[in-house]
């Protein structure tokens, strides 16, 4: 369990495929202070298990299923990744409940510099946007953020012709401290990010579906 409050960014040291698995080595600092083999670390919002570590880096392995549903397969050497250790019972829950179980990948379609903050627009499939509400929580690359607005891409102007118009969109506003502390400052139009929707929305959907059958 995580909170979506990023502790630090790490640097991808090297990537190594073994059959269908991807070993990821990440240079870090704070994360290594109390690290142990078997610890869960959220890497860009994906819950992964520590398999190796030394004084300046740690390694995790992403299996085939994880690579298929996340943006980890797009990582390259020297990429910055968001890192968070798992939640301790005595910690404050400053973000929202994040499992590290990525639901889908979204694509950045527009960035607006608002002089003091940034509005980031993302395209998303309707089957996942149904879990989003204005002012609700979303986890983007491991970061707990608030959805400003969600709607159909057809509502937007000045969007590239390459963006599929049958998709939905949502946007979030990033304050300077989040921009500086995470890898959001590296995002460009076309960048793909990991998305975890609020698990409470999924539980509510399941509850309503079961209730309707009674």
Of 97 and 23, the one with more pLDDT? 23
- Buried residues in 90-124 as b, exposed as e (16+ CB within 10 A): eeeeebbbbebebbbbbbbbbbeeeeeebebbbbb
In the chain, domain spans: 8-85, 104-200
The count of residues in the chain is: 214
167-182, pLDDT tens digit by residue?
999 999 999 999 999 9
Tell me the CATH number for domain 8-85.
2.40.30.20
Share of the chain above pLDDT 70, in %: 94
pLDDT over 90 at 166, yes or no: no
Q: What pTM did the predictor assign?
A: 0.89
Residue 11, phi then psi, degrees to nearest 5: -115, 125
Q: Does domain 104-200 have CATH number 2.40.30.20?
A: yes
Tell me 170's DSSP state. Answer: E
Q: Alpha-carbon distance 80 to 26, whole Å?
A: 9
pLDDT over 80 at 143, yes or no: yes
Look at residue 160 in the predicted model and tell me its pLDDT.
Answer: 64
């Amino acid at each position: 369990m995580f909170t979506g409050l990023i502790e630090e960014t790490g640097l991808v040291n090297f990537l190594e495929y073994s059959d269908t698995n991807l070993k990821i080595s990440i240079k870090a600092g704070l994360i290594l202070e109390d690290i142990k083999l078997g610890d869960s670390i959220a890497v860009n919002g994906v819950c992964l298990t520590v398999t190796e570590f030394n004084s300046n880096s740690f390694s995790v392995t992403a299996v085939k299923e994880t690579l298929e549903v996340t943006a980890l397969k797009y990582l390259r050497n020297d990429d910055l990744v968001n890192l968070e250790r798992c939640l301790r019972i005595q910690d404050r829950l400053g973000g929202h409940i994040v499992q590290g179980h990525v639901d889908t990948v979204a694509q950045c379609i527009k960035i607006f510099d608002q002089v003091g903050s940034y509005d980031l627009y993302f395209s998303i499939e309707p089957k996942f946007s149904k879990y989003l509400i204005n002012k609700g929580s979303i986890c983007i690359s491991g970061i707990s953020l608030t959805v400003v607005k969600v709607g159909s891409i057809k509502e937007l102007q000045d969007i590239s012709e390459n963006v599929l118009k049958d998709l939905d969109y949502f946007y979030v506003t990033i304050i300077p401290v989040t921009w500086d502390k995470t890898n959001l400052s590296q995002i460009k139009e076309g960048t793909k990010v990991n998305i975890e929707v609020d698990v409470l929305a999924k539980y509510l959907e399941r509850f309503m579906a079961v209730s309707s059958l009674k």
